[in-house]
Amino acid sequence: MFSIKTKQVLGVTAMVAIVVMALSLLHLMDLARTLLEESQARAELIANAIYHQSSEVVTSQGTAYDELRSSASVRLALESAIYSEDVTDAVIVDPTGTIIAANDRDRIGQTVEPRASLAALIAEGGPAQLRAVYSGGQTLEWVQPMNMDDQPFAEIRIGLSTILVRRDLNQSLQPAAIAAGVALLVAVFVAMLLAQVVLRPIHVITSGLSRLGRGELGTTLDLRDDEFRDLGDVFDRVSAQLRAAAPGSANPVQLNELSRRIVKLGRLTTGVAHEVKNPLNAMTIHLELLKTKLGDARAAAVHADVISQEIHRLDEVMQGFLKFARPDAVDFAPVDIAPLLAGVLDAIQPQAGRAGVTVERSCGDQSLRVSGDASRLRQAFLNLAENALQAMPKGGKLSVSCALNGNRVVVRISDTGEGIPAEHLERIFDLYFTTKRGGSGIGLSLVYQTVSVHNGEIDVESSMDRGTTFAVTLPALQSR
């Protein structure tokens, strides 16, 4: 689904994101604690100030509440409390929780609601503090008891809003968030660079394999300085072996073996052919003798002639078969195709001239070499050229081209002759298939055999009255 590169980038980024988040959380808790402690310090300061004002106005236990309630300085101290950061209210309550004096006069006489203690929250851990600051809005409380004659008689309560603490926290968080963002961006960039470096060997291997696939045998990998060096060495060895085993490179051992087998097969078939030919020869001789002895018995002579003709035909078939199965060894050697074709065209030139056929050869300047048996290849191309000429009794054009296509040499022999009917196309390479008077039908069989022995292919394209093209493809000899 994802490429390795994407996965790697995502992985590294996620790791960095987790670290950044963990650090941010720690930083956040630290900040929350600091802010809460600062609030507590402020509340303590305010409470102390109110305490001082109160102790100055109170003269006796009996009148204390009235004195506090009516004192202008105490009220001022309470009112000014809320100008301090995070503070929402400041009140003095009696032990029953009834408000004696407050920054807001309307609340005098009311009972205070119980609130969470700021001191208790500070004593708790970071997670609890963060939860308190970020879970909705609540008011915390700092309580300062007031005693008279060692008896608690009132409390100063300072209210602090967590919403205000949260606002402060968010403000001081901004630079941290920017830093985290930058860290993530850097992480993505570094991860991409890393992926490039780490994945290089894989790219090298992939491109090597695809070059090998395209037939660039002997391709090597540039993986000298990597942990993948062993893999690179194996690849290079396999590549070299492929190159050595490729047919185009004419591995002498393999081709000689092939050649030997063909020779053996040839000997076998020619052995049989000779066994047939010998009695045929004997029959011919004895038939001639019989004819002379028959003298003027004309009726019998007619039958003897028929037998003689048939024997002649059989003899031709045998000759052709012998040619096809000739037991000559196949001698592989580097063969330059262009001059070989030039020789073939020279040989047919007189015949072409008589038939009014113009001959054209285009092979470029490139040297096109194959590993092969020059005389067999020459014979094969000669057969194709002769067929082409025979297809153009009233003149035309014979074009021969050769070219390199990848690691194959392609030779095309085209004529503008009569063409081959579709129903004949698949039979033309059959031994003895011919449509010509006096043809033996061996030519294309030999061509096919030669091309096969050279590990090549032959294709034919033909359209009636337009002409025919035979394309012979042979493995090119790799120039090392």
Ligand X SMILES: Nc1ncnc2c1ncn2[C@@H]1O[C@H](COP(=O)(O)OP(=O)(O)OP(=O)(O)O)[C@@H](O)[C@H]1O
- Contact set with ligand X (CB under 6 A): 383, 387-388, 391, 415, 417-420, 428, 433-436, 439-445, 468
- Cβ atoms of residues 164 and 43 within 8 Å: no
Min CB(434)–Mg ion separation in Å: 7
CB of 415 to ligand X, least distance (A): 5
In angstroms, the CA 368 to CA 36 distance is: 89
> Closest residue to ligand X, Cβ-based?
443
Establish if 475 lies at the interface with Mg ion (CB under 5 A). no
Answer for which of 387, 449, 462, 468 binds Mg ion (CB under 5 A) is: 387
CA 164, CA 87: separation in Å to the nearest integer? 8
In the complex, least distance from residue 328 CB atom to Mg ion, rounded to whole angstroms: 20
Q: Residue 91 or 410: which CB sits closer to ligand X? A: 410
The CA–CA distances, whole Å, from 359 to 319, 353, 378, 444, 472 equal: 31, 9, 17, 21, 18
Q: x/- binding map, residues 451-470, to Mg ion, per CB under 5 A?
A: --------------------
What minimum distance in Å lies between the beta carbon of 456 and ligand X? 17
Write out the DSSP string of 192-242: HHHHHHHHHHHHHHHHHHHHHHTT-TT-----TTSTTHHHHHHHHHHHHHH
Whichever of 8 and 387 has its CB closer to Mg ion, that residue is 387
Nearest distance, CB of residue 430 and ligand X, angstroms = 8
Report how far residue 401's alpha carbon sits from residue 411's, in angstroms, rounded to the nearest whole number. Answer: 6
Helices (H), 295-336: 298-324
Q: Are 235 and 208 in contact (CB under 8 A)?
A: yes
Give me the residue label for tokens 């309470």. Answer: 78
CA distance 430 to 172: 93
353 or 393: CB nearest ligand X: 393
Contact partner at residue 338 from ligand X, Mg ion, none, CB < 5 to 8 Å by partner kind: none
CB of 418 to ligand X, least distance (A): 6
The yes or no reply on residue 443 touching Mg ion (CB under 5 A) is: yes
Q: Is 417 an interacting residue with respect to Mg ion (CB under 5 A)? A: no
* Burial class of residue 113, CB neighbours in 10 A (0-12, 13-18, 19+): exposed
- The smaller minimum CB distance to Mg ion, of residues 80 and 434, is found at 434
Partner interacting with residue 435 (select from ligand X, Mg ion, none; CB below 5-8 Å by kind): ligand X
Read off the tokens for 258: 């092939």
Contact between 204 and 223 (Cβ < 8 Å):
yes
Choose the one of ligand X, Mg ion, none that binds residue 409, judging by a C-beta under 5 to 8 angstroms depending on kind: none
Stretch that binds Mg ion, among 97-105, 191-199, 408-416, 440-448 (CB under 5 A): 440-448
**Identity of the residue, 311 or 431, whose beta carbon is nearer to ligand X in the bound complex:** 431
388 binds, among Mg ion, ligand X, none (CB under 5 to 8 A by kind): ligand X
Nearer to ligand X (CB atom), residue 41 or residue 425: 425
Bridge partners, 475 (sequence order): 408
For residue 104, the SS3 value is coil
CB-nearer residue toward Mg ion: 92 or 391: 391
Measured at the CA of 145, the angle between CA 141 and CA 146, to 5 degrees, comes to 140
**C-alpha 313 chain-centroid distance:** 63
Q: Which does 64 bind (CB under 5 to 8 A by kind): Mg ion, ligand X, none?
A: none
- Which 8-state DSSP code applies to residue 476? B
The smaller minimum CB distance to ligand X, of residues 250 and 388, is found at: 388
Among the residue ranges 4-12, 17-25, 114-122, 381-389, the one whose residues contact Mg ion (CB under 5 A): 381-389
Query: Is residue 399 within 8 Å of residue 360, measured between CB atoms?
Result: yes
What sign for the dihedral angle of Cα 343, 344, 350, 354? Answer: negative
User: Taking contact as CB under 5 A, which single stretch among the options 16-24, 139-147, 163-171, 438-446 is the one that binds Mg ion?
Assistant: 438-446
Stretch that binds Mg ion, among 25-33, 199-207, 380-388, 469-477 (CB under 5 A): 380-388
The listed partner (Mg ion, ligand X, none) that binds 391, CB under 5 to 8 Å by sort, is ligand X
- Binding segment for Mg ion (CB under 5 A), chosen from 147-155, 163-171, 441-449, 454-462, is 441-449
Point out which residues bind Mg ion (CB under 5 A). Answer: 387, 443
